[in-house]
Amino acid sequence: MSAFSLLHSALKDLLIQKGVLKREPQRKGFAFLVHPRDVTDAVRKYPFARYLPKRFIEFWAANFWPVVASQITGVKSLLDGSQIPGWIIVCPLLPKQLLSDKKKGIDMIVRCVDLAEKLGAKIVGLGALTASITRGGLDIHNSIRISVTSGYAYTSILITENVLKLAGRFSLPIGSVSVAVVGAAGFIGYTTTKLLVRKGIRDLILIDLPNKLERLQHLTFHLKGSFSNLSIRISHDVSDIKVADFIVAATNAPKAIITSDFLKPGSVVIDDAQPSDVDPDVIKSRDDVLVIEAAVASAPSIDLHFNFGLADRSNIFGCLGEVILLASKGDFQESFTGEPDEDMINYIELASRQTGFGLARWQNFLKVYSEEDLDRIKEARKNK
C-alpha cells in the first residue's frame, strides 16, 4: 500500500473510534490485540518510516492511536458452520512504553478494545504484553463492554504439548525429564507448571524474582499436596537452568536473560516471552540446542492476512488461537481473565480438537527445524 493509503486507513480507524464513521452491524465477531516488538515492526507496517529517526518513530508510537492491521477470515462457527469475522488490531505502543507507563498502556488497550467493539467484535484476545500489563485482562475488565480473554490457557497447553512431544522425539521418559520454568510466578509460568505436573513431569526448577517467593512456595505446596514423587526447587538465579533438559521462558523482562553459557548441550528452550527471553546469539551459534517459539499452532483454513513471521500461513500464536476457539464455540458472553483454571484448560483442549488445531512445525525467527536438526540435538545429549 502507498503511504497515502496507509495513512488514510489509519485516519478511518480513528474516525470509527470517535464515532464519526458508523459501521454496518455485523454478525458477532472477535478481535486480537498486538503491538510492535520494536521500531522495525513499525517500519514494516509503514515503510516510509524507515527514513525517519528512531526517536521520531518512538514519539510517533507514543502518540498514535489503535489501527486495524488486517481482517481474519476462514473462522467458522462450530454451532452452525457460518463464517465469523475477526480483526487484528495494533496497539501502537512499543514494549518499553507499555512497561514504563502502565496507566498509559492500559488506557491505550482500552481504546483498542473500543475500536474492536465498534467493528463488531464481541470478544477480544490479548496478545503479548497487552495481556501481562493488564494482569490477563483483570485490570480492564470493568472498563470495557465486551468480553476479553488472556490467551493463557491455550498458550500453556501448547507449551506443555511441546515438552511432551519433544521428550518423546528424544526418547526421554517423562518421569525423568527436568524442566525449568523461568517466570514461574507469572500467569503462563504458573499455569504451565501445573499442567506439566498433571501430564507427568516430576522434576521442576521454578525461577522468578525474590519478591515472587511466596507465590512460588504456594504453588509448590499445592502441587506436592496433590501429586507424589515431585522434586521442586525454587530459585531466583536464571543460571540454574544449566541442569534442565527443557527451559520454559515466560517472563516480561525488557531484554534477553538467557544466554549460551546457561544452556547444556541437547537442551530445549521453549520461548514464550515478548520480547524474547533468549539472546539471539544462542540461535545463531549453538547448533546443539533447540530454541523454539513456545506456542505456535497450526490452524488450517484460517487466513490472518497478516505476517507474524511464522513458518506457514496456517500458523498462529496460541493467544490468538484461544480467542478464535472461543469465538468458534460461540462464547461471547463470559470473559476469561487472570489465571486459567482446570475447567478452562479442559474446555480449550476440547475446542482445539474440534477445530483441528494442532502443534505447528518447531521453529524460531531464524529457521524451521528439520529432522536432521533434531537428530543432532538428540545426539548432543548423549555426548554432553
Residue 235, all three cell numbers: 530459585
Name every residue whose Cβ is closer than 8 Å to that of residue 248 and which is 6 or more positions away in sequence. Answer: 159, 163, 179, 180, 181, 182, 189, 192, 270, 272, 294
Q: Is the pLDDT of residue 150 over 70?
A: yes
Q: Examine the domain organization and report whether 266 and 252 are in the same domain.
A: yes
For 370-379, how does the pLDDT look when each residue is reduced to its tens digit (9 = 90+)?
999 999 999 9
Give the pLDDT band (50/70/90) at residue 1.
low
Residue 28's domain comprises: 3-149+300-356
pLDDT at 336: 86
**What DSSP assignment string belongs to 318-366?**
HHHHHHHHHHHTT--SS-B-SS--HHHHHHHHHHHHHHT-EE---B-SS
Same domain, 104 and 183: no
Q: How confident is the model at residue 11 (pLDDT cuts 50, 70, 90)?
A: confident
pLDDT at 177: 95
Tell me, yes or no, whether 377 and 273 share the same domain.
Answer: yes
* β-pair partners for 76: 83
Looking at the structure, do residues 29 and 122 belong to the same domain, yes or no?
yes
Q: What are the two backbone dihedrals, phi and then psi, of residue 86, each rounded to the nearest 5 degrees? A: -145, 155
Q: Are residues 249 and 374 in the same domain?
A: yes
All three cell numbers of 350, joined, read 476440547
Q: How far is CA 202 from the centre of its chain?
A: 25
Mean pLDDT of 266-292: 92
Residue 24: per-residue pLDDT: 59
Instruction: Provide the b/e sequence for 302-322 (b: ≥16 CB within 10 Å).
Output: bebebeeebbeebbbbbbbbb
Same domain, yes or no: 83 and 232? no
> How much is the mean pLDDT over the chain?
91
Cα–Cα nearest to 33, from 146, 186, 149 = 149
Three-point CA angle 247, 93, 321, nearest 5°: 50
Sheet of 29-34, strand order: 67-72, 86-90, 29-34, 121-126, 147-149
Query: If DSSP codes are grouped into helix, strand and coil, which group holds residue 42?
Result: helix
pLDDT at residue 9 in the model = 84
Over the stretch 19-34, which tens digit does the pLDDT of each residue have? 777 765 556 899 999 9
Residue length, the chain?
A: 384
Q: How many CB atoms lie within 10 A of CB 46?
A: 19
**pLDDT reported for residue 26:** 59
Cell matching residue 81: 458452520
Specify whether 137 is located in the same domain as 214.
no
Q: Any idea which of 57-66, 84-93, 108-117 has the lowest mean pLDDT? A: 57-66
Distances (CA, A) of 287 to 23, 103, 264, 265, 307: 51, 42, 12, 9, 27
101 and 125 inside one domain: yes
| Per-residue model confidence (pLDDT) at position 315 | 96
Interval 155-180 mean pLDDT: 96
Only one residue has cell 458472553, namely: 333
Cell numbers placing 368? 524451521
- C-alpha 35/C-alpha 127 separation (Å) is 8
Question: Percent of the chain, pLDDT > 90?
Answer: 72
Same domain? For 45 and 58 the reply is: yes
- The CATH number of the domain where 243 resides is what? 3.40.50.720
Q: What is the pLDDT of residues 202-213, one digit of tens each?
A: 999 999 999 999
- Which are the contacts of 182, defined by CB distance < 8 A and separation ≥ 6? 189, 207, 208, 238, 241, 247, 248, 249, 250, 251, 257, 258, 277
* Through-space distance between the first and last CA atoms of the chain, rounded to whole angstroms: 51
Q: Which segment, 5-14, 39-48, 63-72, is predicted with the most confidence on average?
A: 63-72
Residue 250: what pLDDT? Answer: 94
d(C-alpha 308, C-alpha 363), whole Å:
13
Number of domains in the chain: 2
C-alpha cell at 209: 524474582
295 half-sphere exposure, CB direction, 13 A CA radius: 28
Query: Do residue 265 and residue 369 come from a single domain?
Result: yes
How much of the chain, in percent, has pLDDT values that exceed 70? 97
Quick one: cell of 268? 530445549
Q: Are residues 198 and 289 in the same domain?
A: yes
Give 186's DSSP letter. S
3 state DSSP class of 68: strand
Query: Has residue 384 got a pLDDT over 90?
Result: no
Mean pLDDT (whole number) for 102-116: 95
Mean pLDDT of 139-168: 95
Residues 86-108 have a mean pLDDT of 93
Q: Are 100 and 107 in contact (CB under 8 A)?
A: no
Listed range (11-15, 29-33, 237-241) with the worst mean pLDDT? 11-15
When mean pLDDT is compared across 203-207, 275-279, 287-291, 354-358, the lowest value belongs to: 275-279
Q: At 114, is the secondary structure helix, strand, or coil?
A: helix
Confidence at residue 2, expressed as pLDDT on a 0 to 100 scale: 58
- In this structure, the answer to whether residues 225 and 261 fall within a common structural domain is yes
User: Model confidence at 39, in pLDDT bands (50, 70, 90)?
Assistant: confident
pLDDT for residue 128: 87
What local confidence, expressed as pLDDT, does residue 338 receive?
Answer: 86
Q: Return d(Cα 234, Cα 246) in angstroms, integer.
A: 16
pLDDT level of residue 337 (50, 70, 90 thresholds): confident
pLDDT score, position 41: 75
Confidence of residue 4 (pLDDT cuts 50, 70, 90): low
